[in-house]
Amino acid sequence: MRLDWLKRMMDALDLMEGSMEERLDIEEIAKAAYVSPFHFQRMFFMLTGMTIAEYMRKRRLTLAAQEIASSSVKVIDAALKYGYDSPESFAKAFRKIHGVSPSEARQPGVSLKAYPRISFHLSLKGDKDMDYRIVEKEGFEVVGKSIRLKDGEQPRIAELWAASNQDGTAARLSAFGDGDLLYGVCLDMQPGEGDFTYMVAGRIDASREHVAADAADGLERASIPAATWAIFPSVGPLPGAIQSVFSRIYQEWFPATGYEHAGGPEMEVYPSGDTTAEHYRCEIWVPVVKK
């Protein structure tokens, strides 16, 4: 299974590399990997730390710089070749990556950035089991506070949690009807751009809807659809322990199973307790479908 996954991912990368001078068709790229476009883009981001758009931009500007520095190609021709509508937009993106203008790239000895083609490898350590369970659940409602995040803004999540604990929001949310659990919910994910909404939330017990309606003043509500969830335990102090489990889900679990991401919200489920303790236990919920 893992070797099949590796071959499919490398085939997809071959297609991406062959699309440097044309419009990227994410449907075709994902088809080469035998997964949905959402799953491929989410996997790519979690494995590389870059969106596909960011990776393609860096690769195209690497190739453009090499071509400009080693030939007499016109800047406008290089811009059009690598997908830019105007020399101005090309020059702006070029300077952001390389620190110089396209014309300055022709000067002898100028320093340029090179972003090489990535490759995927599997680490077959086999020295640590990965526990999980598959659970089907009906849809439910959550209520809380959210922020919209762009690629690279993940540190703002810790700030949202700190503010929610400090102003009493977290205590309010844990009282909405789901025991003492709090949820960290990733909503409206746009994997191609890396954008998503993160909500610190409490789950609304349907039998206590009137309580939630009265207590939710100033908070937002969101619907979590019915789904099949792969649920993974995380043991250890936050945020390091749960970040490690997230990495293993995408680096080890998905390649080793017949599942892919279903495209819905992801959730972190936090019981009360000392989140800095070595034995603090929480969970990651990822919506999945069988391929």
Q: Tens place of pLDDT for every residue, the chain, 291 residues?
A: 677 888 999 999 999 999 999 888 999 999 999 999 999 999 999 989 899 999 999 999 999 999 999 999 999 999 999 999 999 999 999 999 999 999 999 998 899 999 999 987 765 555 578 899 999 999 999 999 999 998 778 889 999 999 999 999 998 888 776 668 999 999 999 888 889 999 999 998 766 555 555 556 788 999 999 999 999 999 999 999 999 999 999 988 999 898 999 999 999 999 999 999 999 999 999 999 998
Task: Name the residue type at position 242.
Answer: I
Q: Could you count the other beta carbons within 10 Å of the beta carbon of residue 85?
A: 9
User: Which of these, 95, 39, 118, lies nearest to 287 by C-alpha position?
Assistant: 39
Measure the CA–CA gap between 31 and 289, rounded to whole angstroms: 16
Question: What domains can be seen in the chain, in order of their start residue?
Answer: 2-106 (1.10.10.60), 133-290 (3.20.80.10)
Q: Could you count the other beta carbons within 10 Å of the beta carbon of residue 146?
A: 18
**Which pLDDT belongs to residue 180?**
83
220-224/266-270 β-pairing: unpaired
**Which pLDDT belongs to residue 242?**
96
Measure the CA–CA gap between 38 and 42, rounded to whole angstroms: 6
Q: Are 280 and 230 in contact (CB under 8 A)?
A: no
- Radius of gyration for the alpha carbons in the chain, expressed in angstroms and rounded: 22
Tokens of 64: 């453009």
For residue 176, what are the contacts with CB-CB under 8 A and spacing of at least 6? 143, 202, 203, 204, 205, 208, 211, 212, 215, 216
Q: What's the predicted TM-score (pTM) here?
A: 0.87
